[in-house]
Amino acid sequence: MPVSTRHDPFPVKDPYHGIYAHGVETRAGARMLHISGQVGESPEGVLPPDFAGQCRQALLNLDSVLREARMSLRDIVKMTFYLVRREDMSTLVEVRKELLDGVRPAVTTLFVSGLVGPAWLVEIEAVACAE
């Protein structure tokens, strides 16, 4: 039996670009990992100047936390994206399709006036569940 089940009921509108689920049910007894917001800075302290680079690195950082917990990107059941610029939404969709192909967690995307680091363009937090 899977640890989580996606729910996309009719008549709720289809998920935006098919990249998330309207609801994700997690089976009792699953291990849960709450991942703090990850930003686009590499372990060496390099911050790409563009949104796509920062978004990719933030997802790679998130993946590193998951791997430390013996989980993978496929175990993500909830993600929250914080963007400082509306014009980056289409790039977010592209990067998600590139790195999270087939991963359909419940998702919330927020546009905020700024993040802790003034050069940060995106912050991503997640919840994952696994056996």
Assess contact for 78 and 106: CB atoms under 8 A.
Answer: yes
Q: Is the pLDDT of residue 80 over 80?
A: yes
Name the one residue in this structure whose structure tokens are 């686009």: 40
Residue-wise pLDDT for 83-126, tens only, equals 999 999 999 999 999 999 989 999 999 999 999 999 999 999 99
Note whether 34 and 127 are within 8 A (CB): yes
Distance CA 56, CA 32 (A): 24
Q: Which amino acid is at 42?
A: S
> Does residue 131 have a pLDDT over 80?
yes
Average pLDDT estimate for 66-87? 97
- Whether 66 and 97 have beta carbons less than 8 Å apart is answered as no
Yes or no: say if 21 and 104 are a contact pair by the CB < 8 Å rule.
yes
Asked whether residue 52 carries a pLDDT value surpassing 70, the answer given is: yes
Q: What are phi and psi of 7, to 5 degrees?
A: -130, 120
pLDDT of amino acid 7? 77
* Average pLDDT of the residues of the chain: 92
Q: Are 3 and 130 in contact (CB under 8 A)?
A: yes
Residues 6+ apart with CB under 8 A from 90: none
Predicted confidence at residue 116, as pLDDT, reads 97
CATH architecture of 4-130: 2-Layer Sandwich (3.30)
> How far, in Å, are 43, 52, 113 from residue 120 at the CA level?
15, 12, 11
pLDDT for res 1:
66
Q: Confirm whether pTM is higher than 0.85.
A: yes
